[in-house]
Structure 1
């Protein structure tokens, strides 16, 4: 998040952060008409004037609010650069540009929107708050050779000067989509809410056909912050996960991949080895999962604890979903009374669900759907209810793993239901959103109960949810 500039209206600060969040998560689509200032204003509920001013501030931070003059054809040096390398290796961010020998078709408007999206990704990264790393940090040392085609930042340097240097180099790029390829924007969009840590993109990947480099294991699970939304990313979907959540997701994947069944024993040492974590960290997280009822623990001492996968009955499923139904009803009615910009993270999370449905796995779709639901809970402004809903979501994740739930047949329905729920909330129709939510959970509980080892008690479900 940017530091506050003296004299700038507080409402503009908020608008800047909201618009940056939209653009940072847009990906290659940012060049299209759906991300014009008018459409962003409609999306966020901000005025088009605020949005236009925010776009200019993000693209050229620290400059006047007057429209920035773009490089012209009379400035050939401004036409000849491309971004060649973008990497974030804590505690350093490096952007390396190079000269371009190609004759790509000009697309100035699309390029400018792509350049603004790149600046927005840096804007929301939270890197400005990084502190100096420990002395034994293995981070690559800064380049010994200064370069007029490189922008580099690390803690202690001036963040505003770094952003201004990146903006100036972008001004010198050829005004084409090739100067900022879609693969880079797609990668930045996927990582925007996670501080960009571990991102490494090189231009050679475009021509080689290989995927951009991304080291998802750069951070150990224990280093993830608590599940509260980072203040620097409050307009982004909540991507930060606690160690317990990270382990719960990892355990779920292992249970699915290894064919674990209810009652099977889980060995902390084995998971520590597979996840590359200290055994004590895994054991602590597994005890937390057991305390939450997500694992079964039996022990005679801390060092001799054993954990097993819980058995899930049809009554357990009905109990869980009835609780989620009623808490969700409260949250949706509160959401419907919120201003539109408060729902921005939920709208962006829905976009992630749509992307997962088109390109991801069944596990990706299920996780994206749960994240969308949690974003609605966060947008309600009801902290206690949102936390209760979050705890119930952890249990849903484990039930999905235990019952080996397959979302593939339900993808289209999930998308349709979530789109309609969000539309109702945005239009202030709380009761309509509740009706849709009730139908969504009715389908979910029946699908999950069908996989439980006993028949679905329809009468019990009806009594609890009428």
Structure 2
């Protein structure tokens, strides 16, 4: 059965409120707010070495003991002596976070190992490093609620509505709304539920922390996060907003170039990908979820556990990724490459030029030979109408690859695919987020295909260039010190 963990006038659980101990130095209260601000905006990197108590102390000028005490107080939720019994026997992980003014609702679900290949990561089987990272992620979530100003929201109705939404079995809901319960009581309840979460980074995914780190600056208003179906960490299901030009880079996967003849049906394009590419996919997801940075070490054991394949197979695939420049290796250990913004622009420029070759070749193909891109465009439209921004991005990448496959140039198609894989890996390493507006994707893809089918190759090339210009322009906007627009202009010339 599902459970609500909330307080209200008719709640059978009475959590007493007590005054904070007298005489606590004011410096600690100020430090709590400073440390909470740092943690709330850290995103998925919060569990890494950059947010250790020592690093935060150096960052803020506070002493390390004061920082440690602040993190414990933030994680505890309040000074109240709060005793909450979480009505569940299994490990939890967060499945939803909704901020619908003036209500905040968090959903947790009994995990029972389903999201991790059925292995069931128990409390005793978790490495100490991951346990610490998980704890810091929970602290970051508590910090965001603390600094966002939510506690100051006014009561908007006469009586507190505990919500009568029907929930699936095995769900725990923690909810706060002005007039329903004390803020300290809510934080204490949430802290207790977080204590019941499985101590792995999957319990609080990196994409949730990324969204929270952005939304905290405007009071968390409009935050709507839901774990993807199947329980995959790093999944994101958000409503499409045609006017929202881009806060998230989706790392959706798509089929590689087909070995079949160019007349092959779209079904033949859905061939299975190699173990090496599966490792690359898993590694990108791990990078985004764990907040890895350039130069960080990557262990084969963790990837093997997540994918449920032998460590030897993972290490073999990782060595091939080293050969492809997607990883580095020193003394038998693997690490992420030291990627720069210039590398990203380099790859975009190469992809632009290869894409031009492929589009020119497509302009001479028959409608029958262009059947796969036509069907792929329908998938883009369907994703825009019924799916998420991530779904649209995946459909767009698939559409681009079907154009490459339909070109009749198998070598260029494979080069294009390899450039895309490398680009997306490097963007992951730099923790960049970019998804163009949904309607722009649909419009660009539709125009490119119609132009190719009608023989207007110049129009198709113009829109293809605009797609990549927009991506680079956005990256320059979000990180002007990393990306040099002059380098892009020098490499690709005038539009």
TM-score by length of 2: 0.45
Of Structure 1 and Structure 2, the greater helix share is in 1
State the structure with bigger RCO (CA 8 A, min sep 6), 1 or 2: 2
Q: TM-score if structure 1 supplies the norm length? A: 0.47
